[in-house]
Amino acid sequence: MTDALLVSDQQIEKGFFASASSRLCARDAQSLLDNHALQAWGLLQPCRSAAWLDDNTMTLQAHLSGAPRALASLARLRQRAEGGRQFREESTWLADNSRTFSGRWIALEGRQLLAVGATSKEVFSKVANRAKPPLVIHVADEDLPFAGW
Amino acid sequence: MSTVETLTFRSRHDYSSSVVGIDIPVGLKIGDGRSVRLLAKVDTGAANCIFQRDYAEQLGIDVESGERKTFGTAVGSRFDAYGHTVTLSCLDWEFEAVVYFAVPRDYSRNVVGRSGWLDRFRLGLIDHDLTLFLSHYDDLS
């Protein structure tokens, strides 16, 4: 899972970089991100006068007011990346090892096999104390091609 | 005259070629209580989302207390399942949906189908690349 719309998120008009009165448009904000130069905003605008900058450059306060939203976006991205990494690890593990556990229930977290049992109840009880629920699945006896519904 | 349609998606999910079907990670939760994590197959031919009853039992759901529905299969057989409202999470999204838990214990296939899943999203699929693209219907296009 990757972040296909990160750019679109950041391009939302009046996004976390722009206050209602600011002329800092979404395209400018994207440009800033592309250049990793948020702190050098003034230096990136050589063609604009000092007066224009005085009038229109966003204040530090305006930037900071968008911080909670930016941090929330960052947290979502991290969570998304972590979920994607975990799924890839579990898929790889299953591709390599699932035949060994045909007909059994297993609990998996990333590459780590946490529990194996004959019933789901047995496996769920073994992983009941974990803070985050692991992947719990029944490994098919014979994974024949499926005809669909 | 030909036209070109362009779609954009929020998430991209790479699935495995080594398993049968297209698996996606799914979470089910009841209120603020217990939750389970499983793999479900994307099935555009399924009318609803249907899961093994083991997951309902782990969530503390009394399966037979829900809305009963009989499903037909490709070979003409039937099975009963019961609908319950759960919080379903999938990739970047979490939402409430009515999903069904199969009555037969030997029901072995978890699927996300049209009602409760596909009707919430815009879906793009390039099986040649093993890639699934997904956006919530209300996301910016």
Give the residue, A81 or B95, on which the prediction is more confident: B95
Q: Are A85 and A2 in contact (CB under 8 A)?
A: no
Q: What residues form DSSP beta bridges with A31? A: none
State how far residue A42 is from chain B, nearest Cα, in angstroms.
31
Evaluate the CA torsion angle B48, B54, B58, B64 in order and state its sign: positive
**pLDDT score of B91:** 87
State how far residue A45 is from chain B, nearest Cα, in angstroms.
30
For residue A95, CA distances in Å to A132, B69, B94 come to: 23, 34, 27
Q: How far apart are CA A114 and CA A126, in angstroms?
A: 8
Cβ-Cβ contacts under 8 Å, B19 against chain A: 91, 94-95, 143
Burial class (CB within 10 angstroms; exposed 0-12, middle 13-18, buried 19+) of B56 = buried
Over residues B76-86, the mean pLDDT reads 95
- What are the mean pLDDT values of chain A's consecutive 10-residue runs (149 residues total)? 44 42 48 46 53 62 81 82 85 90 95 96 95 93 70
Q: How far apart are CA A4 and CA A24, in angstroms?
A: 24
**pLDDT score of B87:** 96
Q: Which two tokens stand for residue B123?
A: 């879906």
- pLDDT reading at B88 higher than 90: yes
3-state secondary structure of A72: helix
Q: Which of B91, B94, B106, B97 is nearest to B23 (CA)?
A: B91
**pLDDT score of A55:** 57
Q: Which of A1, A53, A7 is nearest to A27 (CA)?
A: A7
In chain A, which residue's Cα lies nearest the Cα of B35? A133
Give the residue, B3 or A58, on which the prediction is more confident: B3
**pLDDT score of A49:** 61
**pLDDT score of B17:** 84
Query: ∠B133-A17-A66 over CA atoms, to 5°?
Result: 95
- pLDDT reading at B31 higher than 70: yes
Q: Which two tokens stand for residue A28?
A: 């400018």
Evaluate the CA torsion angle B91, A93, A104, A114 in order and state its sign: negative
Q: Which of A86, A113, A76, A87 is nearest to A98 (CA)?
A: A113
State the Rg of chain B over Cα.
16
**pLDDT score of A32:** 47
**Number of helices (H), then strands (E), in chain A:** 6, 4
Amino acid (one-letter) located at A64? L
Cβ-Cβ contacts under 8 Å, B46 against chain A: 149
In chain A, which residue's Cα lies nearest the Cα of B57? A121
